[in-house]
Structure 1
Amino acid sequence: MSSGSYPPSWYAASATPLPEQPTLQGRTDADVCILGAGYTGLSAALELAEAGYRVVVLEAERIGWGASGRNGGQAIAGFSCGEAKLEALAGFADARKMFDLSREGLRWLRDRIDRHGIACDWRDGHAQVPIKPRQERELRAAMEELGTRYDYPVEWWSRERLREQLASDRYLGALYDPNSGHLHPLEYALGLARAAMAAGVRIFEHSRVTELVRGRHPVLKTAQGEVRCGFAVIAGNALLRGIAPELESRAMPVGTYIAATVPLGEERARALIRNDMAVADTNWALDYYRLSRDHRLLFGGRASYSTLPPPNLRGVMTRRMRRVFPQLHDVGIEYLWGGMIDISLNRAPHWGRLTPQVYFAQGFSGHGVIATGLAGKLIAEAIRGQSERLDLFAKIPHRPFPGGRALRTPLLVAAMAWYKLRDALW
């Protein structure tokens, strides 16, 4: 894939490219117009096109250019805020329904991969790993909660059992989920786009939306054209700018970063993670990692809440990786990239309607590989007249980030410093 088409990354270098799609020129009409060709927008587009709707997708850059094509690739059931927070926000009955929908979202993801032949390197298995006794207690409590109240079976692995699969002495055990897993994010986005276009979706790249005109027939305008539609879907997430202020005030862009080592060779790579699962620790500033199909270690972490890249990022990522795997003391990083995710103030999903004709989804908060596809499907259902399941999420209360546009970033940076200190001290 051309490095000029996407920000340089191992994903961009290893994905099977799609031809560039045209830029929107002039006026066109659609039943549904979607802003954003990431997982949310493409999933909604595919569902609606298969139901017979005329769908247009407007993408400011390239398909999967944002978080959908640059994320950690870990597909995990549930939501970033956790079940306890959802219960506090919506009550147990609705929280349980939402969790069950996330499980359904995982099944839909697997179904899309199989049904459309998307070659995105799906692998089963995900482990959350504690570093400190407090974290182990929290994970064991979460396992009990998932099993007894959410009927979701996960396993507790002792330190010894984990060590049989993961060649690191850093952790006290693992909460292992055999149903979750990991994939190649950009390949999955491009596969969704191929399926959507085969179903009749028109995708326009390099067609940044500059204005949303609300009304009975919304209009999305770009520099060189516009789309008049019956329904609009706003799926710009962290990259949304100047289109819907009430959404932008309730989502904050956060930078996340991933490194890919040089190829390790199959034997050395498999010695690190023998069962090929994805792994994430439970620190607030967490490490997460997995193996690639060409036997690299893909290692993520070091979030930036200031929107500025961290200083000496390569050195920081190398040290973090070798803290987990000291045996990689002689291994260098070949690719290093980052991107923006969107977080909500309560880390819960923020999905719903701006008007009866304008739908949106944001606030995936770093936990979006499954949730984005779920959001797209539920929005498609609502447009088709079945809104009960989307309305569950629309009931979650969301407040703007404090401080307004000028102060919200420094306030968030200060808050994150506290959580990092908490990780370090106890």
Structure 2
Amino acid sequence: MRTEHTESYYAATRHDRNDRPALKDNIDTDVCIIGGGYTGISSALHLAEAGFKVVVLEAARLGFGASGRNGGQLVNSYSRDIDVIERNYGKTTGHSFGAMAFEGADIIRERVKKYNIDCDLKPGGIFAALNAKQMHELTEQKKLWERYGHTELELLDSNAVQKEINTDVYEGALLDHKGGHMHPLNLLLGEVAAFEQLGGVVYEDSAALKIERTRRPKIHTAEGSVTADYLLVAGNAYMHGLVPELSAKTMPCGTQIITTEVLEESVASTLIPNGYCVEDCNYKLDYYRITGDNRLLFGGGVTYGGGDPNSIEHFLRRHLERTFPQLKGIKFDYAWGGDFLLTMSRLPQFGRLNDSI
């Protein structure tokens, strides 16, 4: 019995509908990666480019978790901004994380161009302020990011932001020209195709059930195993306690998204005329964009501990119609949720569990 994707807009419009087999053998490789999302697949592709023999184990379907369900926005920086990292961990660490924050979007654009990935990639992202306090914070954020070399930023006052977003709810905004948005599942599956062309191997429906932490780690699935020189653990919110010391420092959180029916071109182009993606500056933020086929994709909210509200449609309709009252009563074609991983430090969590993991 194959695991199916959640019933999302992304799953319904993905280009690659191939099934990868489940692992039913005991195999040996240079690198084994647990998790077929962005972290696992991007790492796999870079390793394959460098000549390594790589095997990816995905518990469900490629992009089944956050990588195939998210808002599709290229957002620079972290949940804790670079000044907080620098203050708590020192200037060297701050500068390293600062470089990575703005390198990520460039890597994605390079992957899309190099491998000709069809994922509706569009430039530009807006951080929208709902009040003067948030606008002040965006002004400071612009100064901070420019200090770390990110200069493709533009502050928008209330008049300018209304030209970019057809709503009167915002006080102003910060336009990040290095931001952007895309179809996240097609991005991932495009990277998978590139990885497989380089000889990489992916197994779906092959959950890692046990890790033997020996010199050459051995990863057991229900019907097979992989022994590798190195293991990369990249399961994020869908690890299910496989690595207890990571689970103790993290918490799954749910977020939800709806997608409207296809809008007339005249309607879609008036909502966000230049096609940027948008997120507001609230702690529990709303985020939205126009898809490649002229739907409004709108997400928001956080459910700590994971899971979804009783009605995603009811929950998000209030947010969408408050932002765009002209869409009152609009039909929703898709509604879905999913979990992302929140680290207790709100910073990226990476490192070694031993010399080979």
TM-score range, shorter chain: over 0.9
Letter in 2 for 1:30: T
CA distance in 2, matches of 1:220, 1:97: 32
CA contact (8 A) 2:253 2:307 kept: no
CA distance in 2, matches of 1:351, 1:345: 13
CA distance in 2, matches of 1:315, 1:105: 34
Give the deviation of 1:4 after TM superposition: 6.9
- Where do residues 293-312 of structure 1 align in structure 2 (5 Å cutoff)? 293-312=292-311
1:186 partnered with 2:166: no
| SS of the residue 2:352 aligns to | strand
* Corresponding position of 2:333: 334
CA distance in 2, matches of 1:350, 1:273: 35
CA contact (8 A) 1:258 1:336 kept: yes
CA contact (8 A) 2:258 2:312 kept: no
Give the deviation of 1:233 after TM superposition: 0.4
CA contact (8 A) 1:211 1:242 kept: no
Letter in 2 for 1:24: L
Give the deviation of 1:22 after TM superposition: 0.8
Letter in 1 for 2:221: T
CA distance in 1, matches of 2:172, 2:199: 48
CA distance in 2, matches of 1:104, 1:145: 16
Cα-to-partner distance string for 1:10-60 (whole Å, 9 max, x where unaligned): 111111123101110120000000000111111111111111111110000
1:266 partnered with 2:262: no
* Corresponding position of 1:381: none
CA contact (8 A) 1:210 1:242 kept: no
Count of residue correspondences: 355
CA distance in 2, matches of 1:341, 1:83: 21
Give the deviation of 1:75 after TM superposition: 0.7
1:92 partnered with 2:91: yes
1:208 partnered with 2:207: yes
- Where do residues 144-159 of structure 1 align in structure 2 (5 Å cutoff)? 144-147=143-146, 149-153=147-151, 154-159=153-158
CA distance in 2, matches of 1:288, 1:40: 22
| SS of the residue 1:354 aligns to | coil
* Corresponding position of 2:230: 231
* Corresponding position of 2:126: 127
Letter in 2 for 1:326: P
Pick the structure with more helix per residue. Answer: 1
Letter in 1 for 2:110: D
| SS of the residue 1:303 aligns to | strand
Cα-to-partner distance string for 1:247-281 (whole Å, 9 max, x where unaligned): 11111100010000111111101100000001000
CA contact (8 A) 1:318 1:333 kept: no
Cα-to-partner distance string for 1:261-311 (whole Å, 9 max, x where unaligned): 111111101100000001000101100000011111000002111423213
Letter in 2 for 1:40: T
Q: How high is the sequence identity, in percent, across the aligned residues?
A: 38
CA distance in 2, matches of 1:342, 1:308: 12
After the TM superposition, which parts of structure 1 deviate over 6 Å for at least 4 consecutive aligned residues? none
| SS of the residue 1:350 aligns to | coil
Give the deviation of 1:161 after TM superposition: 0.8
- Where do residues 132-147 of structure 1 align in structure 2 (5 Å cutoff)? 132-147=131-146
* Corresponding position of 1:255: 254
CA distance in 2, matches of 1:308, 1:13: 21
Q: RMSD between aligned alpha carbons?
A: 1.3
* Corresponding position of 2:196: 197
| SS of the residue 1:160 aligns to | helix
TM-score normalised to structure 1 length? 0.81
| SS of the residue 1:353 aligns to | coil
Give the deviation of 1:61 after TM superposition: 0.5
CA distance in 1, matches of 2:102, 2:317: 35
| SS of the residue 1:41 aligns to | helix
Cα-to-partner distance string for 1:118-174 (whole Å, 9 max, x where unaligned): 101101000101112211111111112222x21211110111011111101000010
Say if 1:294 and 1:34 are closer, same or farther in 2 by CA, change over 3 A.
Answer: same
Q: Structure 1, unaligned stretches of length 5 or more?
A: 359-426
Q: Structure 2, unaligned stretches of length 5 or more?
A: none
Cα-to-partner distance string for 1:376-424 (whole Å, 9 max, x where unaligned): xxxxxxxxxxxxxxxxxxxxxxxxxxxxxxxxxxxxxxxxxxxxxxxxx
CA distance in 1, matches of 2:322, 2:351: 42
CA distance in 1, matches of 2:82, 2:325: 34
| SS of the residue 2:353 aligns to | strand
| SS of the residue 2:299 aligns to | strand
CA distance in 1, matches of 2:9, 2:214: 43
